[in-house]
Structure 1
Amino acid sequence: MERKAVIIGATSGIGRALAEELHSRGYALGLTGRRVERLEELKNSLGKNVKIQFMDVTKTRDAIDQLEMLIRELKHMDIIVLNAGVSNFRGSTMWKTEKRVIDVNIRGFTALANYSFDYFEKKGNGHIVGISSVAGHFGYGLSAAYNASKAFVSTYLQGYRQRANHSKADIAVTDIIPGFVESEMTDGKPGMFWVAGKDKAARQIANAIESRKNRAYITKRWWLVGWVLKLVPNWVLDRI
């Protein structure tokens, strides 16, 4: 039976690369994003079995309606990947910058994760995939809201995994935890290491999805950084 996946935030970076990887594995796809011209270009490059839908996740009610519409077009859905996210939004003030990160990475994510769980519970099965980050393991003064938002994503997904364990439905919940991956977010930023190519990252993410893993570091070596960060005392992290 043909597998079907929606990717929220598919216009660039990890989202686009994952769309290409899953399509190559035979998935029918629903792809969303704010930049419609990029969605149309991606659809044309992939060919058949691709539906696209404009979505601004900060407009939460509209985003839920648009996701429902996309699922109806595809008849049903097996996997929903919550990938939409921003880091250093260029606002005119600190508050505008951090509010944008919160609106996209927390409010938008939460609204769509909640809808996805309810949809899969009624359907009887499904798979929620969220994209967090190694950055969620610690606070950082230059991107406090971003790091905090990714910690929220991981903790929220853990809570929903617990909910799934108590549900009659067969629902998998996967937390994808990338380190540095080629994207518009990382272009030109200093101090990066172990930067993964988008295609390699997408392959590992797709493998983790198909294995229904609870969590997966991307690339795999980042589990070591995650482990070390959990051991570092707060007084050390506070001096970064």
Structure 2
Amino acid sequence: MKRIVIIGATSGIGREVAKLYIQKGYRVGIAGRRLPLLEDLQSLNPANIVIEAMDITLNDATNKLTALIDKLGGMDLFLLSSGIGFQNYDLHLEIELNTACTNVDGFMRMVISAYHYFCKQGYGHLAVISSIAGTKGLGIAPAYSATKRFQNIYLQALSQLAHMQHKNVYFTDIRPGFVSTDLLKDGNYPFLMSPSKVARQIEKAIKQKKRVVVIDWRYKILVFFWRLIPSCLWRILPIKTK
């Protein structure tokens, strides 16, 4: 029986992905900050679901990840779904720093730990849910778009490192467009997708071992044209969601 660890499974995309892998017969280890929500998900299949409450921004998160893997009996697939993001038009420092703390510090804490585990084991698949926001710097959410770009580049570098070290580790950078979750409750976003739809596409991309996947086709088109816009023009575009 294959084993997957999902960090950030208390709500949104992570929760839907966890439910999907449970249905597919995986043993699933789930983690998040809110223990009651983890316990609620565990009640769906107590025999094949183990839980661990953790905050990825804290130093003890690596030890808790190790404990979760031990309870699960090992790990074949790792998915990081934890992340925060806010529109910050007035550029409040606390919002920017908190975003970086989760999306950079917490991200590295989890990804590096998972990478070392897979290297020691001799194989594994490491997947992260980043965002299309890393394509261009969004004026309404500077820290969010910058940290997502950081994640994109970090996974690219880590994939190269694994090749240099001759490690049998696969990487998947999952870049969804706008998904109807609590993360996007502070604005009006186009082409909103349901978490369950996104979860199905994530499972498919991981199964196919795709290196980078943009979800869904509408956002693939959007990202294609975003990349063609020169910086001098991008700077004057009034991108708003409120």
* TM tier relative to shorter chain: over 0.9
- Alignment correspondent of 1:34: 33
- Alignment correspondent of 1:134: 132
Equivalent positions of 1:106-185 (< 5 A) are 106-185=104-183
Partners of 1:89 and 1:101 within 8 A in 2: no
Partners of 2:87 and 2:140 within 8 A in 1: no
- Alignment correspondent of 2:85: 87
- Alignment correspondent of 2:194: 197
CA distance in 1, matches of 2:235, 2:224: 18
Equivalent positions of 1:3-14 (< 5 A) are 3-14=2-13
**Partner amino acid, structure 1, of 2:36:** E
Of 199, 223, 228 in structure 2, the residue corresponding to residue 226 of structure 1 is 223
CA distance in 1, matches of 2:164, 2:56: 28
Partners of 2:62 and 2:110 within 8 A in 1: yes
Partners of 2:8 and 2:32 within 8 A in 1: yes
Shift of 1:219: 1.7
CA distance in 1, matches of 2:123, 2:158: 14
Aligned residues: 236
CA distance in 2, matches of 1:33, 1:89: 23
Shift of 1:48: 2.7
- Alignment correspondent of 2:204: 207
CA distance in 2, matches of 1:53, 1:31: 7
Q: Deviations over 1:23-77 (max 9, x none)?
A: 1111111101111111111111344300110110110x21100000011111210
Gaps of 5+ in 2: 238-242
CA distance in 2, matches of 1:221, 1:165: 32
Shift of 1:221: 3.0
CA distance in 1, matches of 2:52, 2:43: 14
- Alignment correspondent of 2:240: none
Shift of 1:89: 8.4
Q: Deviations over 1:113-166 (max 9, x none)?
A: 111111101100001101111111111222100000100011100111111222
CA distance in 1, matches of 2:56, 2:195: 23
- Alignment correspondent of 2:17: 18
Partners of 2:87 and 2:186 within 8 A in 1: no
Partners of 1:124 and 1:168 within 8 A in 2: no
Shift of 1:188: 5.6
CA distance in 2, matches of 1:47, 1:71: 16
Please identify runs of 4+ aligned residues in structure 1 that moved more than 3 A. none
- Alignment correspondent of 1:58: 57
Classify the secondary structure of the residue corresponding to 2:174: strand
